[in-house]
Amino acid sequence: MALTQLAVVSTAVDILQQFGLADLSMRRLAKELDVQVGALYWHVKNKQELLAQVAAKLLNTPQLSVNADDFSTPADTILQLSRRLYLALLPIQDSPEVIEVATAMQATELSPVLQLRELLEASGLSAENARHGQQLLLNHILGSVAFRQNLVQLDVDAPLADGFDWGLQRAVAGLVS
Amino acid sequence: MALTQLAVVSTAVDILQQFGLADLSMRRLAKELDVQVGALYWHVKNKQELLAQVAAKLLNTPQLSVNADDFSTPADTILQLSRRLYLALLPIQDSPEVIEVATAMQATELSPVLQLRELLEASGLSAENARHGQQLLLNHILGSVAFRQNLVQLDVDAPLADGFDWGLQRAVAGLVS
DNA sequence: ACCTGAACACCGTTCAAGT
DNA sequence: ACCTGAACACCGTTCAAGT
């Protein structure tokens, strides 16, 4: 396999899924690709940019989009998209950190996050308030995933009712009403 | 100054405030205290525990508590406490990460976070739902602080209306109503 | 009891030099 | 154009040995 940017990012995703962010080092990545560390820097600018591309690969998938026509109300569509995001990120170790790096750099577009804002605007919010609502929902999704993943790490047996969905419903109720 | 646990934690807080989490390494901390790295491990178990104590020192201050009697409604009291937390954490570089470590270990009690739950319960929520509401608000506070701090880092001039307060109001409205 | 010295096993990033 | 080899300046943690 030729060492391309795609190969670097894909292997990074693999390491993240299997071992978590702590094991996703440039050196470990190089080893996995049978290449010297410096070689990676020909294909990615630095680790931050790599993580942003990893985040994009995780989120920019058709699995993570909703069709507004499939739901009765805009609020329902927002709920469904939020739940899909939560459930998609939950099994990926340290995914919240990775997504935060990507949104912080705003170098890459994360389409489900964009869709969240569009749905809020479609439900009657101003462009500005839709942005703020997007922030509230994203904060809750990422924060809840991080909290849940920390519980697993501490061997606390995770209850099904982890409060994400209840909080989500109250937040959406507060946003569109 | 004798090397005590208090001295170690206090110096850690200083480094965090002045230079951020990236500079708060055990080695840097040892240098600041004119001591070898290994000496620190006599006073703190590891870096995680140190960060938890740093978080406690940051949050367990009388500045960050509210008197419910000072406000007309429970919702107002919750809003005020949330705003105080946000404003207190904002000037401290990378404070959300530090608080997250502390809450993840749940080794130390962070009193403003506890008070948030108490206020939610006082406003009529069940014990369980108060916990979930606490989670929603904490997610929004920490997420908004992290987002704002990332903007500063990228030299984007921060607008006064950063959306924290609007999102907070909608969340609280959704929670207690 | 408390600290030093030194090691172990790592990091991200850069860059001359090779092909 | 793409990669190697090697360096630079760091990490957290442990532990025999000193006082």
* CA-derived radius of gyration, chain B: 18
Residue B159 scores a pLDDT above 60? no
Using a CB-CB cut-off of 8 Å, the residues of chain A touching B136 are 140, 167, 170-171
List protein-proximal bases of chain D (any atom < 7 A from a CB). Answer: 2-7, 10-16
Q: What is the 3-state secondary structure (H, E, C) of chain A?
A: CCCCHHHHHHHHHHHHHHHCHHHCCHHHHHHHCCCCHHHHCCCCCCHHHHHHHHHHHHHCCHHHCCCHHHCCCHHHHHHHHHHHHHHHHCCCCCHHHHHHHHHHHCCCCCHHHHHHHHHHHHCCCCHHHHHHHHHHHHHHHHHHHHHHHHHHHCCCCCCCCCCHHHHHHHHHHHHCC
Contact at CB, B143 and A135, closer than 8 angstroms: yes
State the pLDDT at residue B163. Answer: 94
State the pLDDT at residue B177. Answer: 85
State the pLDDT at residue A68. Answer: 80
What confidence category does residue B70 fall into, taking pLDDT thresholds of 50, 70 and 90?
Answer: confident
Residues of chain A with pLDDT under 50: 160
State the pLDDT at residue A162. Answer: 80
Mean pLDDT of all residues belonging to chain A: 94
List protein-proximal bases of chain C (any atom < 7 A from a CB). Answer: 2-7, 10-16
Neighbour count for residue A118 (Cβ, 10 Å):
14
The residue that leads in pLDDT, B92 or B1, is B92
pTM above 0.75? yes
State the pLDDT at residue A9. Answer: 98
State the pLDDT at residue B79. Answer: 97
Residue B9 scores a pLDDT above 60? yes
Residue B155: both structure tokens together: 């030299």
State the pLDDT at residue B18. Answer: 98
Give the CA distances from residue A95 to residues A20, A98, A105, B122, in Å, rounded to whole numbers and listed in that order. 8, 5, 16, 35
Contact at CB, A131 and B163, closer than 8 angstroms: yes
Nucleic strand D near CB of residue A26 (< 7 Å) = no
State the pLDDT at residue A107. Answer: 79
The secondary structure element, H or E, covering residue B53 is helix B47-59
The residue that leads in pLDDT, B152 or A151, is A151
Contact at CB, A170 and B133, closer than 8 angstroms: yes
Give the CB-side neighbour count of residue B109, counting CA atoms within 13 A.
5
Percent above pLDDT 70 for chain B: 94
What residue type is assigned to position B44 of the chain? V
Residue B10 touches chain A, beta carbons under 8 Å: no
Taking residues B42-57, report their average pLDDT: 98
What is the spatial distance, in angstroms and rounded to an integer, between the CA atom of B100 and the C1' atom of D2?
42
Residue A82 touches chain B, beta carbons under 8 Å: no
State the pLDDT at residue B69. Answer: 82
